[in-house]
Structure 1
Amino acid sequence: MDLDAYVAEHAAEWRRLDQLARRRRVTAAEADELVALYQRAATHLSVVRSRSPDPALVARLSRLVLAARNAITGTPAFSWQRVGHFFVAGFPLAVYRAWPWWSAVATTFSLVAFGIMGYVVANPEVAELFMDDATITRMIQSDFVGYYSQFASQNQTLRVWTNNAVLTAECLAGGVLILPVLVVLFTNALNVGLTGGVMIAYGRGDVFFGMIMPHGLLELTAVFVGAGVGLRVGWAWIAPGPLRTRGRALVEAAREGMLVALGLVVVLLVSGVLEGFLTPSSLPMPVKDVIGALVWLAFLAYVVILGRAAHLEGESTDLPEELTEAPVPTA
């Protein structure tokens, strides 16, 4: 195909389509013309891609076709109703459906962390393989407690929120390959077990659990959910089932994974607020622990009650039809 001749032949149509797509209002006749030119431009794009895929021309026509389609169909307006539906049905349903995965992650993580913790308590010298005596002394005397008050509350909230969001994102994204998630989880279980073991071995177990519980229950649960959903996405392409292709299974699981990722941003913000404001506060430790436990139980109840209700009502975690990409019509 003579690309220059093809461009010269249809350039006037493309310019006219660009003009119509940019207008805020069009007449009925112009609307009909816009649809017709859009269909023809979509066909032109298909021809160029198949016969002479010039990158610059493909990019130009792709932008033109996309702009024309937006002008014809319009862009979805922001809706608080859709936001409400996400938090009432979409997010809890996605987490509820994945509960076997993140429950298994939570159980395995806890067994490993407490196993390491018990081993370090029984063999305190093991800690010296990972940290020197000075570090252990500072941790017991000041560093562990001081960590939660070294920054202003709002700064600590933002800091742990971003750190935990990155950790959870790693678990979600790495789930496709399975092994990265397992490495991240084991590394964190080792850190929790080693730190807890040292604190307990030196008579500071009450401080360890008292400082972790206000925020840690919700924080770790969010990480477990992210890891469980990530592993579920990875397993979707390993074992898609008899009625789905690997690609379809992966796409469906990944869509639910994105819903979970968006919802966990809010959950991790709540745990960040707890760690920034509640954990270092002057409230009695039992009171802080009770508040943290109540927030954690509220999240679990939210997932179970609303997620189960959405499941029984046949709610879907797919995107609404108006937000999915429509097929490009051709002439």
Structure 2
Amino acid sequence: MKAIGLYRYLPIDDKESLVEEQVPDPVPSGRDLLIEVKAVSVNPVDTKVRAPKDKTEEALRILGFDASGVVKAVGEDCVLFDVGDEVYYAGNIARQGSNAEFQLVDERIVGPKPKSLSFAEAAAMPLTSITAWEALFDRLRISEGDAGKSILLIGGAGGVGSIAIQLAAKANLNVIATASRQETAAWCKSMGAHHTINHKQELLPQLQELGYKDVDYIFCMADTNEHWDGMAACIKPQGAICAIVENKRPLDMGKIRSKSVTFSWELMFTRPVFQTEDQIEQHRLLVDIAAMFDRGELKQTMTKTLSPMNADTLKEGHRLLEQGNMIGKLVIINE
């Protein structure tokens, strides 16, 4: 099969940063599905994994952590899907990725593709949906009893933020999203944010202008170090903060200690990488997310497509993400 990957971790403008090769077709066993990839999304994690580092790979490392496709074969222990089923998934960062004609994925982290979405639209949704869902409901532990509480979403116009806004609004929270440009603020409002503020300015005074003394929850999808002091100032005593961007410097936990604030990380690859006992929860939440799309309760967030899937197209996708101006999601169609 055709696959696009890397042997060395290089700047995206290096001609060897992503290369195309023919590799053996994978064969499913156990609970693995063999999926014919129809479309993939490029995420910040793709660019971070590919970013320059002093490391080489003996075999082609295939990136890609979002996809939609059709089940072509199943392992002997599979019980959730059959050949011919249309699916969407985010995969497992510890295994070969979706930038190929075929991919093996554990069925417990795969969901049925929303019927109302095209393969391209569906490919934009798994990683961001899982991340947003787990952050809000598993890490921050938001429940029905929290209706009416407030949440600050830092970095609202990105892929994760676009879904987090919608899920938080659906949970009847008061949603304040951050955006630094007119077009990103408008996007956040279109996703359901009640208010927007600028994350390039001090956060607390802007919240106070909106009538908020503090907020019950914060979900940070941007530079954690940069926003740490602002989050510590904004969070309500006994509130909760979740972040997804790894810190480059130690976080001063003393700034939230006196408020008895809960802090947690969210990484959607935790369940598949560590093979946790509850990894099937990712299948279940993808089922629920698909139903929400099909009922018209969620909006898909694909804003740009490229095709076909080859090394040059994927390089262009990485370049676009590394510019830092993307709104919504970028999808590459496997034609």
TM-score greater than 0.5 by the shorter chain? no
Give TM-score, length-normalised by structure 2: 0.20
Give TM-score, length-normalised by structure 1: 0.20
Larger Rg over CA atoms: 1
Which structure has more relative contact order (CA 8 Å, sep 6+)? It is 1
